[in-house]
Amino acid sequence: MLVASTVALTSSSSAEVQHVSFSPTSSNQVDMVIVPATTGQMGVLPGHVATIAELKRGVLSVHEGNIIAIEAVPLDRIDVNLVQKGLEDFTQKLSSATTELEKAEAQIGIDVHSALNSALTG
């Protein structure tokens, strides 16, 4: 079995189909790719098992140079009340958003605060 030391990224799309494939034979070598799937964010690392997933609209993050996290904080240092307040604030921003940019920014805030809240409350 061939296991790549990096992930090769190729993609194509049409009006109806979006396709992203990761292959050890491409020249675009990266260390990790995070894709938005309908089941959540999916990280693809070198040697990742072949997977078929339904993708959703969103940001495909490409990481080079072994950068996995920009910032990491132990959960015991995060105030659950501030996380829940942030979730409420971003939910309100989403309901009052009038532009696609405002909606996208609010949704990102909701997604981040929801993930933090789930991690904190189990």
Is residue 68 in some structural domain? no
Task: Count structural domains, the chain.
Answer: 2
79 and 59, same structural domain? no
pLDDT per residue as tens digits for the range 49-63: 777 788 776 666 777
Residue 108, in any domain of the structure: yes
Segments forming the whole domain that contains residue 20: 7-63
Kindly state the tokens that stand for 29: 């070598």
Report the C-alpha gap between 100 and 120 in whole angstroms.
30
2 occurs within a structural domain: no
pLDDT confidence of 24, banded at 50, 70, 90? very low
Q: Are 33 and 68 in contact (CB under 8 A)?
A: no
> What is the average pLDDT value for the chain, to the nearest integer?
75
Residue 70 within any structural domain of the chain: no
pTM of full prediction above 0.85: no
Domain closes at, from 16, 40, 63? 63
